[in-house]
Chains A and B, each alone.
Chain A
Amino acid sequence: MADLRLAGIGKSFGAVEILKNINLHIEAGELFVLVGPSGCGKSTLLRMIAGLEQITAGTLEIDGVRMNEVPPARRGIAMVFQSYALYPHMSVRQNMGFALRMAGQGRAEIDAAVTRTAHALQLGSCLDRLPAALSGGQRQRVAIGRAILRDPWVYLFDEPLSNLDAALRVATRIEIAKLKQAMPDRTMIYVTHDQVEAMTLADRIAVLGCKGIAQVGAPLTLYRKPRSEFVARFIGSPAMNLLAGEIVQTGEVTMLRLARGGGSIAALVPTCPGDKGRRVTVGIRPEHMYPTESATHALAARVELVEVLGEVTQLHFAPCRPGGQTVIARLPGIHAGLHGRTLRIAAAPENLHLFAEGRSLLYR
């Protein structure tokens, strides 16, 4: 069992600071997902854990042992690279056995282990092929198999699905989830920019923003109670709608008036009396919106575009001013013929999120 503790980790190239003061505790045996927009340093963080980048500030501990200066191979870590990083001049067999050979294991022993793992991953028939002769999915499995063979305590995945096509991506995602279930005591750290992968795979997610870690928590916590506008918009697809509003009544239930709505609507967010009259951003997820006839509604807007997907229909509302943000509602079932009509939209009080200066009013 191995847990990872990142204390005050930072990374700078010369004067450029990429990561600053990252504090994380990754429990032994959990599948931890690092998610964030591209360029936020999540891959760099992973590479620092792997030992491929020098840690310029803070300490990294694995299983209670400081790892900052330990070379990658001695950290008990295996990594699956985004590009798979298969050695192009070696056969699948040699690729998978390379680490064991470097560790000085016997030829017969390696061969047996490779064959066993390859069969488990349905790679048995292509053991003697070169990576160039494999399909994308097969290469991916070789990369994973190579990691499994080393039997490390910690697995690192660096956007392993981003080079696969949509169908294969779903299939491989499920395989990774099954792999995790098969080895509950191994710790996995998974980097992605795809929030669907994050939501489906993770025990816990850390959302990494430009200013460091925005929020750490279970997937549903992040979905239900995002700490900030940034997390709210990043988790969930289509992204949460953010509307300008004003607090008209405080208490356990806050009453709000929205710029484009009628009457005051309720949100299940407690506020204190001082908040009255405060301008806030109201977040509503598209799937939580429903049409209403009532005079108290969150939003009244003209339907500009209708996307009928079958199980749901997505309505895009015209922004209140040109260039403004469009609002999207996701209604279950098929709704045709709404194009051009003006609809009133409401949402249940427990599904409303309130943000002031980018931060959620729930966490104060």
Chain B
Amino acid sequence: MRVRARHPLRACRAANIAVLVLALVWFIPTLGLLVSSFRERDQILASGWWQAPLAAERTFRVRADAGAAVTEGGRHVIAGNVFANDADAAMPGRVKAFGVSSRAPAAFGTGLRADLVGGGSLSVGADGHYRLESPRAFGESAPTIYVRATMPPRFSLDNYRRVLADDVMVRPFVNTLAVTIPATVLPTVIAAFAAYALAWMEFRGRGFLIAASAGLLVVPLQLAFVPLLKLHQGLGIGQGLVGIWLAHTGFGLPLAVYLLHRAMAGVPRDIIDCARMDGASEVQIFSRIVLPLTYPALAGCATLQFVWVWNDLLVAKVFLPPADGVRVMTVAITDDLLGSHGGDWGMLAAAAFISMALPLLVFFILQRCLLRGLLSKAPEWR
């Protein structure tokens, strides 16, 4: 009997299925928001996003246009279409049933004639055309028509247009960039110097400082807020960009030092020694040998800091003034959109995706660097 040799580490079907499930569970919530960001507010509320590609059944009401009333043979007639509004006109749905009161919004099938309470009748066709007839004039208040219709799936960029056009997110986007870039570059540069000293210079207290940098990693930021805010006010910086740059720089240092120290300590000792023998000064060893060799770690470290600052809400809330001018995106989303536009899911979703775009891009470009920066010792020396 021949036994088929199988590599023991080859993925089996169970692994495939497990990964599929995992990936779906991870992706579906985001997909939900993504789909919703292309839908309209009432669609979002009417049916789950997973039904978005299907025709959705929607019940709505239309007030007949009293101004369009005409008299035909002594009877007052209003003719029109329930899908007349701008959004619906392009892709009209199909009426399944209609009614004349909110209690029975779908009492009549299409083609039937419904009697109005005050006399007269209403008929609605499947294509949405309705005809109201009454012996008396409609006056100011035309009757309300209740319609249950299947609407075709509809996607639009409206939410994005609104978010970008209203200046809801453009200004915060620029602000976020303005906060993030210096708050990424500064701590990385400062930490690189310190990490070099910790990794390759000998001095008393070095072990203590390395330990301290690891310890500071877990100091809760919150406790620094009150004293620092006072300090900033005392220095005349107050709340503003400079203040938040300094704050993010201070808060980001421990992690940057921690990661860069690991990376720099991974440079082979012989290479540093060789540079010393070649007559390079410490500044030269740092700039010409260690920096180029730990470039991926620097990029990785900067990426982490970038994403952390970009997504930060807490520090921004404390160190930026509450005024509109310098609001960042996370604050704009939580306060503005969740507050004033509360429940406008479509707009929120679009805003969330705009805020996600840049970090996602940065991450995928710098993914390789990030990995090498976080892995303690690069395996490809020599």
Contact = CB atoms under 8 A, between A and B. Distances in A.
Contacts of B381: 88
A102 B280 contact: yes
A313 B381 CA distance: 43
A85 B292 CA distance: 15
Interface residues of B, number: 17
Interface stretch (B271-279, B301-309, B326-334): B271-279
Contact of A71 (B271, B276, B292, B382): B276
Contacts of A73: 276-280
A102 B274 contact: no
Contacts of B289: 87
Interface stretch (A76-84, A168-176, A292-300): A76-84
A99 B273 contact: no
8 contacts: A47-B273, A74-B279, A81-B273, A85-B273, A85-B274, A87-B274, A98-B278, A146-B278
A52 B276 contact: yes
A144 to B, nearest CB: 13
Interface of B: 268, 270-271, 273-280, 284, 289, 292-293, 381-382
Contacts of B274: 79, 81, 85, 87
A107 interface: no
B382 A99 contact: no
Contacts of A89: 292-293
Given A88-B293, A89-B292, A83 B275 contact: no
Interface residues of A, number: 26
A109 to B, nearest CB: 16
A269 interface: no
Interface in A96-149: 98-99, 102-103, 146
B284 A85 contact: no
A74 B281 CA distance: 12
Contact of B382 (A79, A83, A103): A83
A228 B284 CA distance: 48
A51 B274 CA distance: 11
Given A83-B268, A83-B382, A85-B268, A77 B293 contact: no
Considering residues B271, B273, B276, B293, which has the most beta carbons from chain A within 10 angstroms of its beta carbon? B273
A346 B155 CA distance: 101
Contact of A102 (B278, B292, B382): B278
A183 to B, nearest CB: 19
Interface in A143-173: 146, 150
B270 A102 contact: no
Nearest to A71: B276
A87 B271 contact: yes
A47 B272 CA distance: 13
A348 to B, nearest CB: 47
A349 B271 CA distance: 52
A88 to B, nearest CB: 7
Nearest to A82: B270
A82 B268 CA distance: 12
A50 interface: yes
A52 B274 CA distance: 9
B74 to A, nearest CB: 95
Considering residues B273, B276, B277, B289, which has the most beta carbons from chain A within 10 angstroms of its beta carbon? B277
Contact of B279 (A50, A84, A102, A146): A102
A217 interface: no
A102 B278 CA distance: 7
A200 to B, nearest CB: 25
Nearest to B291: A89
Contacts of B275: 87, 98
A72 interface: yes
B205 to A, nearest CB: 15
Contacts of B293: 87-89
Nearest to B277: A72
Contacts of A74: 279
